[in-house]
Amino acid sequence: MKEIRHFINGEYLGSDSGRIFDDIDPASGEVIARVHEGGQAEIDAAARAARDALDGEWGHMPVAQRMELLHKVADGINARFEEFLIAECQDTGKPRSLASHIDIPRGAANFKIFADLVKNVPTETFHMDTPDGAGALNYAVRHPKGVIGVISPWNLPLLLMTWKVGPALACGNTVVVKPSEETPQTTALLGEVMNEAGIPNGVYNVVHGFGPDSAGEFLTRHSQVDALTFTGETRTGTAIMKAAADGIRDVSFELGGKNPAIVFADADMDKAIEGTMRSAFANCGQVCFGTERVYVQRPVFDEFVARLKEGAESLRMGHFEDEGVNFGPLISQEHRDKVLGYYRLAEEEGATVVTGGGVPDMDARFGGGAWIQPTIWTGLDDDARVVREEIFGPCCHIRPFDDEDEVLGLANDTEYGLAASVWTRDLSRANRVARRLEAGLVWVNSWFLRDLRTPFGGSKMSGIGREGGVHGLEFYSELTNVCIKL
């Protein structure tokens, strides 16, 4: 049985408490590893190691050298691609086809992207007049923010963890990472790559555990942690924000969403179906900017529903190594219970179940897995809970609309504001609608198409701040303005 330990100050260590929890394969329900649970002692040790590294070699390292090391980290992940891929698929159950094209390549790329960005990003310089005519020169200097607490989610474990660790280290910070208890493997494995690349001890630290009264809570409350970044559900973000208020520490949150897709009658129907299939069902619907609300213009409504039903029923479930598999399980039995609760609620609220709505029949080897059917509903009122609350499963509700103003009102009628997609051949309309949507990201005739230099994040209850490009650097660095009297 594999044993997963904390990674602190360049070493793999067990827990002082001796507490251990199971890492479970969501496809089968079998235990695949035993994980050490961290507490106050482990967080103390990790924060102290991170502070020492910040004050020592890492904090005084020339930028060019730091960037070279981060490139080595990316190369190290790619050199062990298969090892990272298997670990990620075991923890999440997601198909190899998905993880090999998105999770692992992006997990590695995040280090190179932000290393190159920091090496080349400019800062402002201003010459100002003074009463004596000699003038003054103002210029900005970036400094690392300090020790960053990183709490990463289980749906894209490596990708979203390095999406935070990459820019944090590129800006010269050190990190203490608390990965999801559901998906500890790749975050732990990255410690080996850090050592192989020559990253100084204490720069990258990992403590495993849970939230309340465990590693997560102790990390958010630690006095040596200067800022906190979190991706996950809105309720957890609220708790972290309360903890961060003690010490007036900065936060960066990417939280929940109830994202709309808008399909106009003039859309390329093949592309709209393909894109909505991905946005509703990819990663078993466990994507923060996935689509759970679909609005389709009335002339093409019936065609769209029929074709999306056909697509959903063609998805193939199975082990991540099996050929042709493109649909995995939910992350856990607990999460499946939550999603199935919404499936039952949808019927109670009067939904028409177009397809799905339950648990599929699986082979005996998957008997303990968290499998669920991709599900489509129609016919619900706009105030139905299933239409308003984030489910985070492979499901969507499809509703017809007649005109632009109507659908914008429907799409924006939510407490969330993370992402949206618009499908139309009319680019003037696309621009007009996209600008009026209350969301941090709007895709037109696409979904999940990302340029990592662009801002990523949500509005309303979907988050605080932006990640990506120079926008992410604003969180991971502090600016000092230097004014020189000439």
**One digit per residue, pLDDT tens: the chain, 486 residues?**
899 999 999 999 999 889 999 999 999 999 999 999 999 999 999 999 999 999 999 999 999 999 999 999 999 999 999 999 999 999 999 999 999 999 999 999 999 999 999 988 888 999 999 999 999 999 999 999 999 999 999 999 999 999 999 999 999 999 999 999 999 999 999 999 999 999 999 999 999 999 999 999 999 999 999 999 999 999 999 999 999 999 999 999 999 999 999 999 999 999 999 999 999 999 999 999 999 999 999 999 999 999 999 999 999 999 999 999 999 999 999 999 999 999 999 999 999 999 999 999 999 999 899 999 999 999 999 999 999 999 999 999 999 999 999 999 999 999 999 999 999 999 999 999 999 999 999 999 999 999 988 999 999 999 999 999 999 899 999 999 999 999
In this prediction the pTM is 0.96
Residues whose CB falls within 8 Å of the CB of residue 110, separated by 6 or more in sequence, listed in order: 74, 159, 162, 163, 165, 166, 167, 452
pLDDT at position 78 is 98
pLDDT at position 11 is 98
* Lookup: tokens for 313: 């029923």
Is 254 assigned a catalytic role? Answer: yes
How many C-beta atoms lie closer than 10 Å to residue 380's C-beta? 19
Measured between alpha carbons, how far is 105 from 216 in angstroms, rounded to an integer?
A: 27
pLDDT at position 122 is 87
**Domain spans in the chain, listed from the N-terminal domain onward:** 2-255+462-485, 259-451
How many C-beta atoms lie closer than 10 Å to residue 402's C-beta? 10
Is 396 assigned a catalytic role? Answer: no
Active site residue: 37, 217, 254, 390, which one? 254
CA-nearest of 378, 372, 397, 189 to 286 is 372
Q: What is the CATH number of domain 2-255+462-485?
A: 3.40.605.10
**How far does CA 373 lie from the centroid of its chain?**
23
Active site residue: 89, 171, 284, 288, which one? 288
Cα 131-134-137 angle, rounded to 5 deg: 100
Q: What is the CATH number of domain 259-451?
A: 3.40.309.10
